A and B are shown apart, each in its own frame.
Chain A
Amino acid sequence: MTIPAGWQIDIGLEIHAQLNTQSKIFSGASTLFGQSPNSQACAIDLGMPGVLPSVNAEVFKKAVQFGLSIGAMINQESRFDRKNYFYPDLPKGYQITQMDHPIVLGGEITIQTSNGTEKIIRVTRAHLEEDAGKSIHDFKPGYTGIDLNRAGTPLLEIVSEPDIKNAEEAVAYAKAIHQLLTYLEVCDGNMAEGSLRFDANISVRRQDAEALGTRSEIKNLNSFRFLEQAIHFETERQISVLEAGGTLIQDTRLFDPDRHETRSMRSKETATDYRYFPEPDLLPVMLTAEFIEEIQAQLPELPGKRAQRYQTAHELSASDAALLSQDRRLGDYFDEVLTFSGNAKSAANWVRGDLLSKLNEHELGITVCPISPKHLGEMIQLIDQGVISGKIAKAVFAALWSKQTESAGDYVQKNQLEQVSDASAIEPLIDALIAENPKQAADLRAGKDKLLGFFVGKVMQATKGKANPKQVNDLIRQKLSEP
């Protein structure tokens, strides 16, 4: 996207992440997605008369995991507040949220910009609140149906400073948050199901202007593509209004994914006074220092650090390191393979190559991989030790995958797949082949190197693939360099 000369954009993102707890934040109802309408809404979620909220401990654990991972400050004492407004998907007529004393304050996310440099986007705060229900518009003509299954699902709202300056940075930031939340396993990141939603606050100003311009809030964007498109449209809209001499009003807008444009929300034309006040039905939440320390101690190695370790300690390429560290469980798997086979490069090749492609082919995740890290590691060790060749290993791998065997070693032994590296076994074969194929031998001696493969292939055939390819190569060259 090109920003018209003389203008700059300021974007702040509010990201709503559904935390993947079993029960809701303020009730013991299930958070399972996709159930029949209102089958997961208990009396508390329905806001019935006389009901009261209780607080799910796990939401705090997950919020603290996130906060610590972005270097934020954790508020040991945080509080809940009521945000008051009327909407049918908000059964109590108020949302329980955290206003003045959120659980997380500050923090940073590092993104890669399009020209390869790193940029830090500051996080202002993150707080806990409850999700609202869903409106179904087309079920009954003239009516909107309200499903409150989602009401009460825990949300972590992550608010960034307006440090984001264009759509690409916005998407990079959103993706980084997505990755972190899924890596920490505090959110399933399923955007199609609404697990992660973005509100973008967008304003423009002239290059030399000090103050931020009037902003619009684009609500409920649920894909990176829509986020990008919405920002493009909105910034163009704002700039063209201002360039024509008009003024902008602070408003709330929705993105239309079919028309790729934003439009003002009817119901929110004037800024609503939410009349926040402390939630009287809930007491301030006090987290002990021990609670926070324990979470800190149990935090997984984050992708950035892990990739670094793979490069420095294991000399993996940047590409291998990045791929293996992006998915937490894949990285865990890889680390475990390493404990059984010291060869990081080989392990990386097998994991990111054969293993991942097999998993993808069968649409399996690494956590249900039929080959355990131990068994893969043992196989790699056999290759390292020269017991089997890389080629034979493919057959062993297939056997492990189909669960024909769980031990590479046993399989190799049983099927006599050991590599033949003994020169005294290979040399006679080579001699015989040279004798049988004088023309090719002569050509090869003369420098037609591609004939090497001809002889190697024949040796492999004769040895049923078990000959050590390097050994064979060397011996052939040796023999043909002799007069």
Chain B
Amino acid sequence: MNDLVNETTLVELSTLAALPFEPDKSKATLDALNEVLALVGQMQSLDVSNVRPLAHPLERHQTLRADSVTETIDPSALSQNAPLYEAGLYFVPKVIE
């Protein structure tokens, strides 16, 4: 079976997944990916034309909650792990639109 993922695809996938594309590891990564995808490809031989997909194992409906404020927020506890946090803001390198 032809490889589904080549280097171009890998670059695209890495971008979509916000992962770095590492050229020196690219062959190993591609081999591993294609191997998994070949395993997964075994699904293709099955006829599933009349089958509805199953998203949730137990087919129940969502419980809705009443509209009230239930969270008391402690910003210092929630931000204690933040790498760069000042004046109540989380900082990232400047984003230019």
Contacts and interface: CB of A to CB of B under 8 A. Distances in A.
A42 B73 contact: yes
Contact of A28 (B63, B69, B96): B69
A438 to B, nearest CB: 78
B92 interface: yes
A275 interface: yes
A254 B97 contact: yes
Nearest to B93: A143
Chain B interface residue count: which class? 20 to 34
Nearest to A85: B16
Is chain B's interface secondary structure helix, strand, loop, or mixed overall?
loop
A39 interface: yes
A156 interface: no
A273 interface: yes
A468 B60 CA distance: 74
A248 interface: no
Contact of A39 (B60, B73, B90): B73
Contact of B78 (A30, A48, A86): A48
A139 B77 CA distance: 23
Interface in A272-295: 272-273, 275, 278, 280, 282-286
A56 to B, nearest CB: 5
A296 interface: no
Name the residue among B71, B78, B84, B88 with the largest chain A CB count within 10 angstroms. Answer: B71
Given A86-B18, A265-B97, A266-B96, A37 B78 contact: no
B69 A22 contact: yes
A146 B90 contact: yes
Interface string B57-97: 00011111111111101010011000010111111111111
A181 B97 CA distance: 30
A43 B78 contact: yes
B18 A28 contact: no
B56 to A, nearest CB: 6
A267 interface: yes
B82 to A, nearest CB: 10
Contacts of A199: none
Looking at A21, A38, A43, A77, the one whose CB has the most chain B CB atoms below 10 A away is A38
A146 B89 CA distance: 5
Contact of B89 (A48, A145, A275): A145
Contact of A146 (B61, B67, B92, B97): B92
Contacts of B89: 37-38, 136, 139-140, 145-147
30 contacts: A22-B67, A22-B68, A28-B69, A30-B71, A38-B78, A38-B90, A42-B73, A55-B63, A55-B64, A56-B64, A57-B65, A57-B67, A58-B66, A58-B67, A88-B90, A88-B95, A135-B95, A139-B89, A142-B93, A143-B84, A143-B93, A145-B89, A146-B91, A146-B92, A148-B90, A254-B97, A267-B97, A283-B56, A284-B56, A284-B62
Given A38-B78, A42-B78, A55-B64, 16 more contacts: A28-B71, A36-B88, A38-B75, A38-B79, A57-B67, A59-B67, A86-B18, A93-B18, A140-B89, A144-B95, A146-B92, A267-B95, A284-B61, A284-B62, A285-B64, A286-B62
